[in-house]
Amino acid sequence: MGQAIGQVLSYGVAVALSPVPIIAVVLMLGTSRGRVNGPAFLGGWIVGLAVVGTIVLFAASGGSASDQGQPATWVSVVKIALGVLLALVALRQWRHRPRAGAGDAGLPKWMQAIDTFTPRRSFAIAAALSAVNPKNLLLTVGAAAAIAQTGASTGTQAVALAVFVLVGTLGPGIPVAIYFAMGDRAARPLDELQTWMGEHNAAIMATICLVIGAKLIGDGITGLT
Protein backbone atom coordinates (compact mmCIF):
# COMPACT_ATOMS: atom_id res chain seq x y z
CA MET A 1 0.00 0.00 0.00
CA GLY A 2 2.85 2.38 0.79
CA GLN A 3 4.16 2.18 -2.76
CA ALA A 4 0.76 2.97 -4.27
CA ILE A 5 0.20 5.92 -1.96
CA GLY A 6 3.72 7.21 -2.46
CA GLN A 7 3.13 7.27 -6.22
CA VAL A 8 0.27 9.77 -5.97
CA LEU A 9 1.40 12.30 -3.37
CA SER A 10 3.23 14.59 -5.79
CA TYR A 11 0.28 14.53 -8.19
CA GLY A 12 -2.13 15.37 -5.38
CA VAL A 13 0.00 18.31 -4.24
CA ALA A 14 0.18 19.61 -7.82
CA VAL A 15 -3.62 19.48 -8.11
CA ALA A 16 -4.06 21.13 -4.71
CA LEU A 17 -1.88 24.09 -5.68
CA SER A 18 -4.06 25.08 -8.64
CA PRO A 19 -4.68 28.84 -8.18
CA VAL A 20 -7.97 29.17 -10.10
CA PRO A 21 -10.13 26.91 -7.88
CA ILE A 22 -8.59 28.42 -4.74
CA ILE A 23 -9.41 31.93 -5.95
CA ALA A 24 -12.90 30.82 -7.02
CA VAL A 25 -13.79 29.32 -3.65
CA VAL A 26 -12.40 32.37 -1.80
CA LEU A 27 -14.61 34.62 -3.93
CA MET A 28 -17.60 32.38 -3.23
CA LEU A 29 -17.00 32.54 0.50
CA GLY A 30 -17.19 36.32 0.31
CA THR A 31 -20.74 36.27 -1.13
CA SER A 32 -24.06 36.03 0.67
CA ARG A 33 -24.27 32.33 -0.26
CA GLY A 34 -20.76 31.51 0.88
CA ARG A 35 -21.87 29.09 3.62
CA VAL A 36 -23.59 26.83 1.07
CA ASN A 37 -21.62 27.53 -2.12
CA GLY A 38 -18.24 26.82 -0.49
CA PRO A 39 -19.11 23.27 0.61
CA ALA A 40 -20.95 22.68 -2.70
CA PHE A 41 -17.79 23.67 -4.58
CA LEU A 42 -15.74 21.22 -2.52
CA GLY A 43 -18.26 18.45 -3.23
CA GLY A 44 -18.03 19.02 -6.99
CA TRP A 45 -14.23 19.14 -6.83
CA ILE A 46 -14.06 15.80 -5.00
CA VAL A 47 -16.54 14.12 -7.35
CA GLY A 48 -14.67 15.32 -10.45
CA LEU A 49 -11.31 13.98 -9.27
CA ALA A 50 -12.80 10.70 -8.02
CA VAL A 51 -14.76 9.98 -11.21
CA VAL A 52 -11.86 10.61 -13.59
CA GLY A 53 -9.44 8.72 -11.35
CA THR A 54 -11.76 5.72 -11.08
CA ILE A 55 -12.33 5.56 -14.84
CA VAL A 56 -8.58 5.65 -15.57
CA LEU A 57 -7.89 3.05 -12.86
CA PHE A 58 -10.39 0.63 -14.37
CA ALA A 59 -9.03 1.20 -17.87
CA ALA A 60 -5.39 0.83 -16.77
CA SER A 61 -6.07 -2.27 -14.70
CA GLY A 62 -7.90 -3.86 -17.61
CA GLY A 63 -4.92 -3.09 -19.84
CA SER A 64 -2.44 -4.88 -17.54
CA ALA A 65 -0.61 -1.80 -16.33
CA SER A 66 1.72 -3.93 -14.20
CA ASP A 67 4.09 -6.50 -15.71
CA GLN A 68 5.59 -8.74 -13.00
CA GLY A 69 5.78 -5.85 -10.54
CA GLN A 70 7.15 -3.42 -13.13
CA PRO A 71 5.25 -0.82 -15.21
CA ALA A 72 4.03 -2.21 -18.52
CA THR A 73 5.67 -0.68 -21.59
CA TRP A 74 2.50 1.15 -22.59
CA VAL A 75 2.31 2.82 -19.16
CA SER A 76 5.82 4.23 -19.59
CA VAL A 77 4.90 5.52 -23.04
CA VAL A 78 1.75 7.16 -21.63
CA LYS A 79 3.80 8.78 -18.88
CA ILE A 80 6.21 10.29 -21.39
CA ALA A 81 3.29 11.57 -23.48
CA LEU A 82 1.61 13.08 -20.41
CA GLY A 83 4.89 14.67 -19.38
CA VAL A 84 5.34 16.28 -22.79
CA LEU A 85 1.75 17.58 -22.71
CA LEU A 86 2.28 19.07 -19.24
CA ALA A 87 5.48 20.72 -20.43
CA LEU A 88 3.51 22.28 -23.30
CA VAL A 89 0.85 23.47 -20.84
CA ALA A 90 3.64 25.03 -18.75
CA LEU A 91 5.03 26.81 -21.81
CA ARG A 92 1.59 28.11 -22.76
CA GLN A 93 0.92 29.36 -19.23
CA TRP A 94 4.22 31.19 -19.13
CA ARG A 95 3.88 32.76 -22.56
CA HIS A 96 0.33 33.98 -21.85
CA ARG A 97 1.01 35.28 -18.34
CA PRO A 98 -0.37 38.77 -17.67
CA ARG A 99 2.04 41.67 -17.53
CA ALA A 100 3.38 42.82 -14.18
CA GLY A 101 0.80 44.87 -12.31
CA ALA A 102 -2.13 43.38 -14.23
CA GLY A 103 -3.41 41.67 -11.07
CA ASP A 104 -5.92 38.93 -11.79
CA ALA A 105 -6.27 39.79 -15.49
CA GLY A 106 -5.45 36.23 -16.45
CA LEU A 107 -8.36 34.73 -14.52
CA PRO A 108 -11.51 33.33 -16.19
CA LYS A 109 -14.29 35.84 -16.91
CA TRP A 110 -16.95 33.61 -15.30
CA MET A 111 -15.54 34.64 -11.92
CA GLN A 112 -17.07 38.08 -12.45
CA ALA A 113 -20.53 36.54 -11.94
CA ILE A 114 -19.57 34.34 -9.00
CA ASP A 115 -21.80 36.27 -6.61
CA THR A 116 -24.83 35.00 -8.58
CA PHE A 117 -23.85 31.32 -8.32
CA THR A 118 -26.22 28.80 -6.80
CA PRO A 119 -24.97 25.69 -4.94
CA ARG A 120 -25.75 23.60 -8.02
CA ARG A 121 -23.70 25.81 -10.30
CA SER A 122 -20.88 25.95 -7.76
CA PHE A 123 -20.85 22.14 -7.69
CA ALA A 124 -20.85 21.95 -11.50
CA ILE A 125 -18.06 24.52 -11.93
CA ALA A 126 -15.87 22.69 -9.42
CA ALA A 127 -16.48 19.32 -11.08
CA ALA A 128 -15.50 20.80 -14.43
CA LEU A 129 -12.37 22.46 -13.00
CA SER A 130 -11.19 19.23 -11.38
CA ALA A 131 -12.15 16.77 -14.11
CA VAL A 132 -12.09 18.61 -17.45
CA ASN A 133 -9.41 21.27 -16.91
CA PRO A 134 -6.47 20.06 -19.06
CA LYS A 135 -3.84 20.41 -16.33
CA ASN A 136 -5.87 18.58 -13.67
CA LEU A 137 -7.01 15.96 -16.17
CA LEU A 138 -3.41 15.16 -17.12
CA LEU A 139 -2.38 14.99 -13.45
CA THR A 140 -5.30 12.73 -12.52
CA VAL A 141 -4.58 10.40 -15.43
CA GLY A 142 -0.92 10.33 -14.39
CA ALA A 143 -1.83 9.55 -10.76
CA ALA A 144 -4.25 6.77 -11.70
CA ALA A 145 -1.74 5.22 -14.11
CA ALA A 146 0.93 5.36 -11.40
CA ILE A 147 -1.40 3.55 -8.98
CA ALA A 148 -2.34 0.90 -11.53
CA GLN A 149 1.28 0.15 -12.46
CA THR A 150 2.01 -1.03 -8.90
CA GLY A 151 -0.16 -4.10 -9.46
CA ALA A 152 -1.65 -3.64 -5.96
CA SER A 153 -4.99 -5.14 -4.95
CA THR A 154 -8.23 -3.36 -5.81
CA GLY A 155 -8.69 -2.26 -2.22
CA THR A 156 -5.18 -0.80 -2.03
CA GLN A 157 -5.67 1.04 -5.31
CA ALA A 158 -8.94 2.49 -4.01
CA VAL A 159 -7.19 3.73 -0.86
CA ALA A 160 -4.37 5.29 -2.92
CA LEU A 161 -6.91 7.05 -5.15
CA ALA A 162 -8.74 8.32 -2.05
CA VAL A 163 -5.43 9.73 -0.74
CA PHE A 164 -4.85 11.47 -4.09
CA VAL A 165 -8.34 13.01 -3.98
CA LEU A 166 -7.89 14.07 -0.36
CA VAL A 167 -4.52 15.74 -0.98
CA GLY A 168 -5.79 17.31 -4.20
CA THR A 169 -8.73 18.83 -2.29
CA LEU A 170 -6.53 20.61 0.26
CA GLY A 171 -6.12 23.64 -2.02
CA PRO A 172 -9.78 24.70 -2.15
CA GLY A 173 -10.54 22.91 1.11
CA ILE A 174 -8.24 24.96 3.38
CA PRO A 175 -9.96 28.31 2.59
CA VAL A 176 -13.34 26.74 3.37
CA ALA A 177 -11.98 25.40 6.66
CA ILE A 178 -10.54 28.82 7.53
CA TYR A 179 -13.87 30.48 6.70
CA PHE A 180 -15.89 28.23 9.01
CA ALA A 181 -13.26 28.23 11.76
CA MET A 182 -12.58 31.97 11.89
CA GLY A 183 -15.87 33.50 10.78
CA ASP A 184 -15.59 37.23 10.06
CA ARG A 185 -11.89 37.21 10.96
CA ALA A 186 -11.22 35.03 7.90
CA ALA A 187 -11.89 37.88 5.48
CA ARG A 188 -8.41 39.44 5.63
CA PRO A 189 -6.24 36.28 5.25
CA LEU A 190 -8.52 34.96 2.50
CA ASP A 191 -8.38 38.27 0.62
CA GLU A 192 -4.59 38.26 0.86
CA LEU A 193 -4.48 34.66 -0.41
CA GLN A 194 -6.78 35.53 -3.32
CA THR A 195 -4.67 38.56 -4.28
CA TRP A 196 -1.40 36.65 -4.18
CA MET A 197 -2.80 33.72 -6.15
CA GLY A 198 -4.29 36.06 -8.74
CA GLU A 199 -1.01 37.89 -9.27
CA HIS A 200 1.09 34.71 -9.56
CA ASN A 201 -1.45 32.39 -11.18
CA ALA A 202 0.46 31.81 -14.43
CA ALA A 203 3.85 31.40 -12.74
CA ILE A 204 2.47 28.87 -10.24
CA MET A 205 0.75 26.85 -12.96
CA ALA A 206 3.78 26.90 -15.24
CA THR A 207 6.12 25.75 -12.46
CA ILE A 208 3.83 22.93 -11.30
CA CYS A 209 3.23 21.63 -14.82
CA LEU A 210 6.94 21.78 -15.69
CA VAL A 211 8.07 19.95 -12.53
CA ILE A 212 5.45 17.19 -12.75
CA GLY A 213 5.95 16.93 -16.51
CA ALA A 214 9.67 16.39 -16.01
CA LYS A 215 8.93 13.75 -13.35
CA LEU A 216 6.58 11.88 -15.69
CA ILE A 217 9.06 11.95 -18.55
CA GLY A 218 11.83 10.73 -16.25
CA ASP A 219 9.68 7.93 -14.83
CA GLY A 220 8.63 6.91 -18.33
CA ILE A 221 12.20 6.75 -19.61
CA THR A 222 13.23 4.75 -16.55
CA GLY A 223 10.40 2.30 -17.16
CA LEU A 224 11.41 1.81 -20.79
CA THR A 225 15.07 1.24 -20.01
pLDDT digits (tens, 9 = 90+) for 46-58: 999 999 999 988 8
How many domains, the chain?
Answer: 1
For 172-186, what is the mean pLDDT?
Answer: 91
For 113-126, what is the mean pLDDT?
Answer: 93
pLDDT beyond 60 at 213: yes
For 176-181, what is the mean pLDDT?
Answer: 94
Where is average pLDDT lowest: 5-9, 65-69, 76-80, 220-224? 65-69
Residue-level pLDDT at 164? 94
For 108-112, what is the mean pLDDT?
Answer: 80
Percent of the chain surpassing pLDDT 90: 34
For 93-108, what is the mean pLDDT?
Answer: 63
pLDDT class of 99 with cuts at 50, 70, 90: low
Where is average pLDDT lowest: 12-16, 36-40, 140-144? 140-144
pTM of this prediction?
A: 0.82
Residue-level pLDDT at 50? 94
**Cα 147 to chain centroid, rounded:** 16
pLDDT class of 169 with cuts at 50, 70, 90: very high
Q: Which has the higher per-residue pLDDT, 1 or 209?
A: 209
pLDDT, mean over the chain: 84
Domain boundaries, position 210:
2-224
Q: Which of 42-56, 135-149, 151-165 has the highest mean pLDDT?
A: 42-56
pLDDT beyond 80 at 130: yes
